[in-house]
């Protein structure tokens, strides 16, 4: 049964996610953080991962969504800086992470990720 589900998921996943798509999702993620981040005291030159972590510590983003956000950022970095091509399984995981982030944002009335 699990093998059938995996095979079905592979067929549905379509093509590998491109570096360009990951870069687009990263930009959308930054826009989402801009909406969520209401502080005037963000550290100067704070990186994306540090910002996500700060918002988690402050209770703005739950840890399971933080994990999804890190999936997007890490896979984008791998494609950008290491010329990685995502496998079918990796592409499926990244797509699922992105859809989970969208679902979470939409449940909070943030519809800018569509």
pLDDT tens column, 51-109: 999 999 999 999 999 999 999 999 999 999 999 999 999 999 999 999 999 999 999 99
Q: Report the C-alpha gap between 73 and 91 in whole angstroms.
A: 13
Q: Report the C-alpha gap between 22 and 19 in whole angstroms.
A: 5
The answer to whether residue 69 sits within a structural domain is yes
The answer to whether residue 65 sits within a structural domain is yes
Number of domains observed in the structure of the chain: 1
The answer to whether residue 13 sits within a structural domain is no
The answer to whether residue 114 sits within a structural domain is no
The answer to whether residue 21 sits within a structural domain is no
pTM: 0.82
Domain that residue 97 falls in: 26-107
Q: Is the pLDDT of residue 33 over 80?
A: yes
Q: What's the confidence (pLDDT) of residue 14? A: 59
The answer to whether residue 15 sits within a structural domain is no
35: nearest Cα among 86, 101, 88: 101
The answer to whether residue 87 sits within a structural domain is yes
């Amino acid at each position: 049964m699990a093998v059938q589900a995996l095979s079905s998921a592979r067929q549905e996943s379509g093509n590998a996610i491109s570096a360009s798509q990951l870069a687009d999702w990263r930009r959308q993620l930054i826009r989402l953080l801009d909406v969520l981040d209401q502080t005037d005291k963000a550290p100067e030159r704070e990186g994306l991962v540090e910002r996500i972590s700060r918002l988690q510590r402050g209770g703005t983003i739950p840890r399971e969504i933080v994990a999804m956000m890190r999936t997007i950022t890490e896979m984008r970095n791998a494609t950008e800086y290491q010329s990685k091509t995502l496998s079918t399984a990796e592409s499926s995981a990244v797509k699922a992470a992105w859809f989970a982030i969208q679902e979470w944002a939409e449940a909070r009335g943030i519809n800018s990720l569509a």
